[in-house]
Structure 1
Amino acid sequence: MSTQRTPPQTPLVAATAMLTRSESDRNISASTRAESADALNVIHRYKRSRCETDFDLDVMTEMRKLFSELKTQQDKKFEALQTTVSTISKQNEEISASAILISQLYDDMKVKLDTLERERNTHLAYIQSLEERIDSLENRNRRSCIEFRNIPSNKTETKDDFTKMVVETGKVIQVPIQTSDIRDAYRTYTKSYQGPIVIDFVNVILKEKFLSSVKKYNTENKSRLNTTVLQFDGPSKPIFISESLSLKFKKIFYMARDFAKAHDYRYCWSSHGKVYLRKKEGSPLHRIDCEAHLSQLIENDK
C-alpha cells in the first residue's frame, strides 16, 4: 500500500504561508482587542444607565413629595374657600331676608306717609280757612280804627294824651272831633321799637271822613302833616295816618308798596282792610290779597 505525502513546499510557497498566518494572527489579535473594547464600553454604559436610574428615582420621589405637599395645601385652601363661600351664602340669605323685611316696612311706611300727606293737606286747607276767618274777624274789629305812625313817644304818655292829639289833628284837617267820638286809644309795642298809636272811633263813618280829610290836607299842603303842625316838641317829622290793618294785610301792604316802587306803580293804598294797586290814572285797579297776586302782576306786565 502506497502512501502519498505532501510534496515539500517551495521557499516561495513557504513564505507565502507564513505571511498568511501572520496576517491571520494579526486579524485575530485586532478582533480580540475590538471585542475587549466593546466589552468595556458595554460595562461603562451599563454603569451610567444605573446612575441615571437612581437619579430619576430620587427626582420622582422628590416630585411626589412636592406634589403631595401641594395637594395638601390646595386641600386646605379649598376647605377654607368652601367655608368662606358657605359663610357668604349664609350672609346673602340673611341679607335677602333683611331686604324683604325692609321692602315690606318701606311699603307700610309709604302707605302711612301717603295717609299723613293727605291728612296734612286737609289740615293745611282747614288752617288756611281758619286764618282767613280770623283775619276777617280782625279786620271787622278794626273797621273803625286808624293808626298814627312816627309820633314821638315819652314814658308818661296816656290815653288822654292820645285823645288830645286826635282832637288837635281834627282841628288841622277841619274835622271836629270830640272826646266822646273816640272809643279807645293806645300805642302798640314790638320787641325792637315802639309801634304806631291806634285810635278806635265810635263808628266807621267818622273814621272814613277823618282819613279822607287827612289825604286832602296832604294833597293841598306841601308841608303835609308833621309833628310841628301838631305842636310836638323837637325837630319836625312827618306823620303818617292810615287805617289799621290786620297783621296779614300789614305785611301785604308793605310788600305792595315795595312792589309799586320797583315796577312804577303810581298808586298803592288800603281801604276797608284791603290793599290796592294802580299803575297810573285810568289804569285797571288791582286788589292784592296775597303775595301770589303780586307775582301775577309781574307775569301780566311781561
Structure 2
Amino acid sequence: MPLNRTPPSTSPTPTSAATLPVEITQAHLSALSSSEPNLSLKTDSLATDITLSHSSRNVKRKLSGVNRDSGLINQDSGLSVFMSEMKQMFNDFKLQQDEKYEKLLSLANSIRDSFDHLTIQHNSLKCQVEQLETERKEHLFHIQELESKLEQMEQSSRSSCIEIRNIPTSNTETKSALLDTVLGAAKLLDVKMQPRDVKDLFRIKTKDPAIKPIIVDFTSVLLKEEFLMKFRKHNKTSFKLTTEHLKLVGPAKPIFISENLSARNKRLFYLARDAAKSNGFQFCWVSHGKIFVREKIGKTHYLIKNEADLARVIKTA
C-alpha cells in the first residue's frame, strides 16, 4: 500500500554535510515507524547502514590522509638517505683526491729537490770542466813551449853536422873508409880540412839499406858552413859532384850534401818544398837549421817554423 509521509512543520535549518544525512534519516524513521509498524526492523537496519557508510567514509578519509602523510614521510626519508649517501661519496672522493694530491705534491717536491741537487752538481761540474779546460790550454801551451825548446835543442845539437846522400854502401865499410870519402869530397870542393876536424861520422838507417845517408859531425860550425857553401858554389859554377868524381864503385850518381835536420824539420822542409812548387815559389832553402821560402827575387823571404806558418805564407802570397 502507498506510504504517505508527513511534511516537516518548519523549514530545516542549514546544517553541515556531515549532520544532514543523520537528521533526515531520523525524520524518515519517525514517519516510517508511525505509518507502518512492520518497518521498524527495516528502519533500524537502514540507520545502521547509513551510520556505517558515514563512518566508512570518515575512516577512508583519515586513512587517506595517513597514507598521504606516510608517503611524504617516506619520500623525505629516502631523499635524506640519498643526500647522505651522496655526501658520503663526495667526502670519500675528496679524501681520495686529497691523498693523491699529497702524493703528487710529495713527488713534485722530491723531483724539485733532486733537480736542485742536480743543478748544484751540474754547476759544480761545469766550473770544474772550465777550470780543467783552462788548465788544459795552459798545459798545452806549456807542452808546445817544451816541444819547441826540445826541437831547438835537438837541432842545435846538429848545428855542426852535415848529411851526405847517395854514397853507396859496402859490406866491409869502416869509419876510416867513410872518412877518406869525406876528405876526398872536401879536396874536390877546395875545403881545407884534416882528419882531426871530424869529430864523428856514421850512417843512419833508411828504407833502402843499399843507400844510407852519412852524417858527418865537424869539430866546428864554421867548418861545416864552409863545406856547405863550397858544395853549393861548386854545383852552380862548375860541375855537379857525383860518385864518379870520388872514384866510388858503381854507376855515377849525383851526391847531395845538406844540413842535418831533425825529424820534425825534415818533414817540415819536405812540406815547404812541395807547397813552394805547387804555388809558384821559386826558392825554398835551409840555413843554420832554419827553413825559408821566397816567392821570387826581390820579394820578402819568410821563416817557416811550423805548418801553420807555411799555410799562412802560402795564403797571403
In the alignment, what sits opposite 1:208? 225
Paired residues of 1:151 and 1:239 also in contact (CA < 8 A) = yes
SS in 1 for 2:200: strand
Give me the whole-angstrom Cα distance separating, in 2, the residues matched to 1:291 and 1:212.
Answer: 28
Aligned to 1:283: 299
* Contiguous gaps of at least 5 residues in structure 1: 1-78
Structure 2 CA distance for partners of 1:174 and 1:89, relative to 1, 3 Å: same
* Residues 187 and 92 of structure 1, relative CA distance in 2, 3 Å threshold: farther
1:201-238: CA deviation from partner (whole Å, max 9, x where unpaired): 1111111111011101211345x222222233223322
1:274 pairs with 2:286: no
Match of 1:139 in 2: 155
Q: 1:244 aligns with which of 256, 260, 273?
A: 260
* Residue 95 (structure 1) shift: 5.0
- Matched residue pairs, number? 225
CA gap 1:92/1:164 in 2 versus in 1, 3 angstroms:
farther
Residue 231 of structure 1 aligns to a residue whose secondary structure is: coil
Q: Distance in 1 between matches of 2:316 and 2:302?
A: 12
Unaligned stretches of 5+ residues in structure 2: 1-95
Query: Residue 235 of structure 1 corresponds to which residue in structure 2?
Result: 251
Q: Is the 8 A contact 2:158 2:261 kept in 1?
A: yes
1:119-172 per-position Cα deviation (integer Å, ceiling 9, x unaligned): 112222222222222222223222211011233234443322221121111122
1:256 and 1:193 map into 2 onto residues whose CA distance is 24
Q: Secondary structure at the match of 1:147?
A: strand
Say whether residues 1:121 and 2:142 are aligned partners: no
Conserved? CA contact 1:268–1:278, under 8 Å: yes
Structure 1 residue 111: Cα displacement: 1.1
Residue 213 of structure 2 is matched in structure 1 by 196
2:204 partner SS: strand
- The CA distance in 2 between the partners of 1:106 and 1:255, in whole Å, is 46
- Aligned residue among 182, 186, 207 for 1:166: 182
Matched-pair contact (CA < 8 Å) for 1:167–1:176: no
Q: State which structure, 1 or 2, has the greater radius of gyration over its C-alpha atoms.
A: 2
Distance 2:248 2:111 in 1: 81
1:218 aligns with 2:235: yes
**SS of 1:238's equivalent?**
coil
Q: Cα deviations across residues 151-197 of structure 1 (Å, max 9, x unaligned)?
A: 3234443322221121111122222332111011012225x455522
Partner of 1:33: none
Residue matched to 2:275: 259
Query: What is the one-letter code of the residue matched to 1:146?
Result: I
Alpha-carbon distance in structure 2 between the residues aligned to 1:100 and 1:158: 78
Contact kept, 8 Å, 2:275 with 2:314, in 1: the verdict is no
With structure 1 as the length reference, what TM-score do the two structures score?
0.64
Letter in 1 for 2:265: F
> One-letter code of the match for 2:230?
S
Pick one of 120, 132, 145 that aligns with 1:104: 120
- Alignment RMSD: 3.1
Cα distance change, pair 84–228 in 1 and its aligned pair in 2 (3 A)? farther
Could you say if the C-alpha distance between residues 88 and 267 of structure 1 is closer, same or farther in structure 2, counting changes exceeding 3 Å? same
Aligned to 1:60: none
Q: Is the 8 A contact 2:165 2:255 kept in 1?
A: yes
| Cα pair 1:166 1:177 within 8 Å, conserved | no
Is residue 130 from structure 1 mapped to residue 146 from structure 2 by the alignment?
A: yes
Q: In structure 2, what residue type is equivalent to 1:217?
A: H
C-alpha contact 2:276 2:283 (8 A) present in aligned 1: yes
CA pair 84-241 structure 1, distance change in 2 beyond 3 A: farther
Q: 1:187/1:93 Cα in 2 relative to 1: closer, same or farther (>3 Å)?
A: farther
Aligned equivalent of 1:187: 203
TM-score (structure 2 length as normaliser): 0.61
Q: Percent of counterpart pairs with the same letter?
A: 38
